Structure 1
């Protein structure tokens, strides 16, 4: 019986980044499509006055380590 593959850690990506690799890293960690994650983030940030999208992105940029690959 083989053990399941380990999940990637939460870190910014180098290869699939648009600005800082934050949303690409979140998408990689959970196995989601990075384009869909980016689109959802933009829509939620624009539509919702209660969600400070830019602030959340900047905080994640500062707190998430940069990935190895």
Structure 2
């Protein structure tokens, strides 16, 4: 919702965005670089092309 990282991961692997967001939040409880990886992906992963509605 903030940078689209979790939504992009969900779309890539055929998962629901809410599930990926919850898994990310739960992983933040564990020690590790999850938040730093999120920031790196925010910068490094290209944005999806805009969808056009007819």
Give the structure-2-normalised TM-score. 0.85
Does structure 1 residue 43 correspond to structure 2 residue 26?
Answer: yes
Summarize the alignment of residues 1-40 of structure 1 with structure 2, pairs less than 5 Å apart: 18-40=1-23
Give the CA RMSD over aligned residues.
0.8
Count of matched residue pairs: 50
| 5+ long unaligned stretches in structure 2 | none
Gap regions ≥5 residues in structure 1: 1-17
Deviations 1:46-67 (CA, angstroms, capped at 9, x unpaired): 1x11x22210100000110000
TM-score by length of 1: 0.68
Higher RCO (CA 8 Å, separation ≥ 6 residues): 1
Runs (4 or more) in structure 1 with deviation over 6 Å come to none
